[in-house]
Amino acid sequence: MNESEFTAKTAIENLLTLMTMLRDKDFGCPWDLQQTIASLVPYTLEEVYEVVDAIEKQDMLELEDELGDLLFQVVFYTQIAAEEGLFDFDDVANAITRKLIRRHPHVFPKGKQTNFGNKADISSDQVVVNWEAIKQQERQEKQRTRQTNQSHSGDSESSEASNSILDDVPRALPALERARKLQKRAARVGFDWPEIEPVIAKLKEEVAELESGLREGDQQQISNELGDVLFAAVNLARHASVEPELALRSANQRFEDRFKWIESTLSSRGKTLSETNLEELDLLWDKAKQKGL
């Protein structure tokens, strides 16, 4: 392909063309040719966290770069899927377009993009309520489709499996986020406390059970109870309208900033962490907090 053919294409067309070249069996890249949909997963997760990191640092130049890396992951998946006859980039783009139109009836009346242009009298909170209702309807339709396909394939055991509202909460999510999603999904059918006070009480109860496990020295019980404490903490975050993953990331950053300040302060005194007793370290930690770190 010559230079003029590249310049005549849109940016996404050039990227898609580049991807086919990287996967070309004769002239492509050996590493890219070795990849599968499954093998790309860790790289995709890494790119997502790098996008988040750029946003947290408010580095827009880095964000532009990281979003490009994330987009490339999408292109990579769709190229492999196209080679296997599953779907291609256009299928993915068309699917999300249809989904967004379907989930925004207040913007696209009657589910038609051509009906755009009528101002909707609806609050942001109501949009969220409607969005969840539409998603639930979509899940039910997908489940019916799967059961029909399983029935046609003769897989009666799978088709008779229970249909839980928790079934499609992705298992690959980070544990904190999956806990939040499981709780949120259960809450939609009333499995939740209406007020925050019993949520706090439950967290205290789980901490007491963890303390009991620690006293007994049963490692499996300790692990189980600590898991329950974390799960209860996520539930508290949800009731307090706090994203647990972001809250923990923020706590990590505060710890890092304070720890580095202590290191720097001790260094200026000609001392190291290992030469400092816990009482002095605790005082320095309090000073770091007072400085707003």
* Same fold: 3-159 with 175-290: yes
Domain boundaries, the chain: 3-159, 175-290
Average pLDDT, the chain: 90
Query: For residue 79, what are the contacts with CB-CB under 8 A and spacing of at least 6?
Result: 16, 19, 20, 23, 89
Distance CA 192, CA 184 (A): 9
pLDDT digits (tens, 9 = 90+) for 114-171: 989 988 888 988 888 888 888 888 877 877 777 777 666 666 555 445 578 888 888 8
Do 265 and 284 contact (CB within 8 A), yes or no? yes
Query: Given a cut of 70, is residue 219 above it in pLDDT?
Result: yes
- Lowest average pLDDT, out of 35-49, 95-109, 125-139, 224-238, goes to 125-139
- pLDDT 10s digits, 158-211: 544 557 888 888 887 889 999 999 999 999 889 999 999 999 999 999 999 999
pTM exceeds cut of 0.75: no
In terms of Cα–Cα distance, which of 44, 37, 35, 39 is closest to 173?
Answer: 44
**Check whether domain 175-290 has CATH 3.30.70.100, yes or no:** no
Q: Which of the following CATH numbers is that of domain 3-159: 1.10.10.10, 2.40.50.140, 1.10.287.1080, 1.10.10.60? A: 1.10.287.1080
